Structure 1
Amino acid sequence: MKQLQVTFIAALLLMTAGAHAQQPTLVIRNIRVIPMTTDTILQDRDVWIANEKIIRITPAAGKRAFRKKGFRQINGTGKYLIPGLTDSHVHYKNYVSVFHECDSLYLRYGITGVLALNGRPELLCHRDSIRRGLLQGPDIVCASPPMNDSTMTAEQAVAKLDTFRQAGYDFVKIYSDLSKEGFNAFSQHAAAYGLRLAGHIPQRVTTMGVLHSRQELIAHAEEYLYSPPVNYFMGNIETPVLPDTSLIPMLAKATADAHKAVSPTLITFYSIWQTAEDVNSYLSAMPLPAIDPVAVTWDWMNSGIPQKFAAPRGRQRMQAAFDFQLQLVKAFNDRKVLLLAGTDAPTMPGLVPGYSLHLELQLLHKAGLSNYEALKTATVNAAEFLHTADQRGTISEGKEATLIILDQNPFTDIQHTLSVNTVLLKGKIVSAGQPSRGRKLF
């Protein structure tokens, strides 16, 4: 018995010594921690960081305890600490010349990870440079170019999978006009190539076809409008006047039962609607960057989007479609569908990289999510979907020190996610002194 006691004490001493052997390189002092493990705030904590990770979270020791210490300190008094945010639907697209501008905007607004649903070789190189530490930017998970060939055969789809695997893509991007044969082949074989499926609901596959497939993520809540059983389209169309909201419970249940994730991108649809109503008024309230990536390719006068919704009936249908999506997202949340915050930025004016994700959180709250639930869509849920929950999405000892310091409490008002004070990427300060006081949509 005595020998067992000695062994236990020796082991305990070794564990204690190991815990304190790792010397911190940074301490965030006296901050309120929002761990996102539960709907709670840990008051007055010191967060100790070393080797890119959180090594300890302790009750605040007070300023005197940190005098003459050999590590960097941040005074977090009165501020709030949340995990870094993920935008689960972005487009670097053809804007190679402004990749770095996008990266800078994402980090400034606390977006430390993105799912890019429009891959190309240049973006894969950019992603790899960031991961090797050659460039500073959000971690990029990259999908293939959109698969949109209405004549694609099963053999052609399998050949694409082999190409995508060799290139290093993470997902295959499914798009609206893809053939049923191509889609079915992607669904059947993608996993064998180490690839996952995300994207639209192809017209030839329909909503139920996607729900019964291996596509894991449906991008855009509006996709449910354009397929059976809803069949509600945009433009100057007379009937039906309103989408059938009685279908919402069935759609939510079917999506939950199929274990699909949904990125509603409400801000995308909202921006199209608002620019159709009054483009100048809507954009004047946006903090447009010095280089607007959209301006590289967007031709407002010749684009089909504003022209399509110019008629009053078209704008009325957008209002009805937006209201339907709000109800649908609420039903998804009630059914525990995994919701991911995404923006589609910067595919059109008003969708500013980084900034728009905070507006998406406001719209998710308007749809009926609590502030905590809305914040989960960009933290916990994103980490779960991207299989990185062991490292990101919550704040706890051993997790990656990718964090945001906010000046205000996002649990009292979701708009306060815009009060970004400091952004840390793997323990390094990448943005500070640029607090973002954005607009409140509602």
Structure 2
Amino acid sequence: TEHVDKATAMKKYRVLAKNNTAVVPTLIGGQITAYIDENDHQQDEYLNYLGKGLKATYQWRVDRANKDTPEQITQRKERFIKTAKLLPWVQQAGVSIIAGTDAGFLNSYIYPGLSLHQELAIFSDYGLTPLQTLQSATIAGPKFLGKTQQFTSLEVGKVADIIILARNPLVDIRNTQSLQGVISHNRYYNKKALEHLKLQAKQFVSSQ
């Protein structure tokens, strides 16, 4: 937020809020690219769940980042931090923040599933409360899309997948990763079943 005038920024953000504009920050990609010199992600467990074709698309972004000078590396880290620090301002202005990521082709080391948890951690690290962060992943999207009658709460007649956690995410948002079970499409998966699904996925990828 250095060199950004807060009064000017807040004025613009309030216009966005008035216009019911929502923001999906997708900060995890910027964080990964900014710090690729410190973590090349070659030891990531989640690489075992991705096909060779998808992983191959990551290389161009990595190659581009590796060509940066020391000064450019510093600048990209500073740029990420400055951007992330704007989150509380956006929240204060009343703009809806929706959690999402860019997992998929070309988006290096942004893993489906895990990356959303990582995105939530960034939100919390840079100033949103755990409650605000959790709401960005559960309520904000349906509200923006006019789907609150179908989603956003555990009520008869509404649709919901449920995650069962060992620790409270309202204490630490990283506790969303303390997964013990999932109810999806009316089917319950305990921790053992979830680990079995992961094993099946890993075996399928390795067989390709």
* Aligned residue pairs, count: 189
Report the Cα offset of residue 273 of structure 1: 0.6
Structural mapping, 1:16-165, within 5 Å: none
Give the secondary structure class of the aligned counterpart of 1:362. Answer: helix
d(CA) in 1 for partners of 2:99, 2:113: 12
Give the secondary structure class of the aligned counterpart of 2:46. Answer: coil
- Provide the residue aligned with 1:55 in structure 2: none
Structural mapping, 1:421-440, within 5 Å: 421-429=180-188, 432-433=191-192, 434=194
- Residues 392 and 402 in structure 1, CA contact (< 8 A), matched pair in contact too: no
Query: Which has more radius of gyration?
Result: 1
d(CA) in 1 for partners of 2:42, 2:108: 7
Does the C-alpha gap of structure 1 residues 257 and 387 become closer, same or farther in structure 2, counting only changes over 3 Å? closer
- Provide the residue aligned with 1:82 in structure 2: none
- Residues 34 and 76 in structure 2, CA contact (< 8 A), matched pair in contact too: yes
d(CA) in 2 for partners of 1:258, 1:283: 43
The alignment's TM-score, normalised by the length of structure 2, stands at: 0.80
Does the C-alpha gap of structure 1 residues 272 and 429 become closer, same or farther in structure 2, counting only changes over 3 Å? same
Work out whether 1:420 is the aligned partner of 2:179. yes
Does the C-alpha gap of structure 1 residues 362 and 244 become closer, same or farther in structure 2, counting only changes over 3 Å? same
- Residues 248 and 328 in structure 1, CA contact (< 8 A), matched pair in contact too: no
- Residues 345 and 356 in structure 1, CA contact (< 8 A), matched pair in contact too: yes
- Residues 266 and 343 in structure 1, CA contact (< 8 A), matched pair in contact too: yes
- Residues 29 and 108 in structure 2, CA contact (< 8 A), matched pair in contact too: no
- Provide the residue aligned with 1:373 in structure 2: 132
Structure with higher strand content: 1
> Which of 303, 317, 322 is 2:80 aligned to?
322
Deviation by residue 1:366-420 (Cα, 9 ceiling, x = unmatched) = 1211111101111000111233221222222332242111111111111100011
Q: Which runs of 5+ in 2 are unaligned?
A: 196-208
- Provide the residue aligned with 1:403 in structure 2: 162
Misfit runs of 4+, over 4 Å: none
> Which of 11, 18, 25 is 1:250 aligned to?
11
Letter of the structure 2 residue corresponding to residue 298 of structure 1: Y
Structure with higher helix content: 2
d(CA) in 2 for partners of 1:296, 1:322: 25
d(CA) in 1 for partners of 2:137, 2:121: 12
Work out whether 1:361 is the aligned partner of 2:120. yes
d(CA) in 2 for partners of 1:401, 1:256: 27
Does the C-alpha gap of structure 1 residues 305 and 393 become closer, same or farther in structure 2, counting only changes over 3 Å? farther
Give the secondary structure class of the aligned counterpart of 1:317. Answer: helix
Report the Cα offset of residue 271 of structure 1: 0.7
Does the C-alpha gap of structure 1 residues 254 and 314 become closer, same or farther in structure 2, counting only changes over 3 Å? farther
- Residues 151 and 158 in structure 2, CA contact (< 8 A), matched pair in contact too: yes
Letter of the structure 2 residue corresponding to residue 318 of structure 1: R
Pick 1 or 2: higher relative contact order, CA cutoff 8 A, min separation 6.
2
Letter of the structure 1 residue corresponding to residue 21 of structure 2: K
Letter of the structure 2 residue corresponding to residue 256 of structure 1: A
- Provide the residue aligned with 1:10 in structure 2: none
Give the secondary structure class of the aligned counterpart of 2:85. Answer: helix
Deviation by residue 1:132-162 (Cα, 9 ceiling, x = unmatched) = xxxxxxxxxxxxxxxxxxxxxxxxxxxxxxx
The alignment's TM-score, normalised by the length of structure 1, stands at: 0.40
- Provide the residue aligned with 2:24 in structure 1: 263
- Provide the residue aligned with 1:91 in structure 2: none
Percent identical among aligned pairs is: 25
d(CA) in 2 for partners of 1:315, 1:291: 29
d(CA) in 1 for partners of 2:22, 2:172: 26
Letter of the structure 1 residue corresponding to residue 15 of structure 2: A
d(CA) in 1 for partners of 2:10, 2:73: 26
Give the secondary structure class of the aligned counterpart of 2:137. Answer: coil
d(CA) in 2 for partners of 1:345, 1:287: 16
- Residues 273 and 318 in structure 1, CA contact (< 8 A), matched pair in contact too: yes
- Provide the residue aligned with 1:348 in structure 2: 107
Report the Cα offset of residue 248 of structure 1: 2.9
d(CA) in 2 for partners of 1:326, 1:303: 22
Alignment RMSD (CA, Å): 2.4
d(CA) in 1 for partners of 2:89, 2:132: 13
- Residues 340 and 377 in structure 1, CA contact (< 8 A), matched pair in contact too: yes
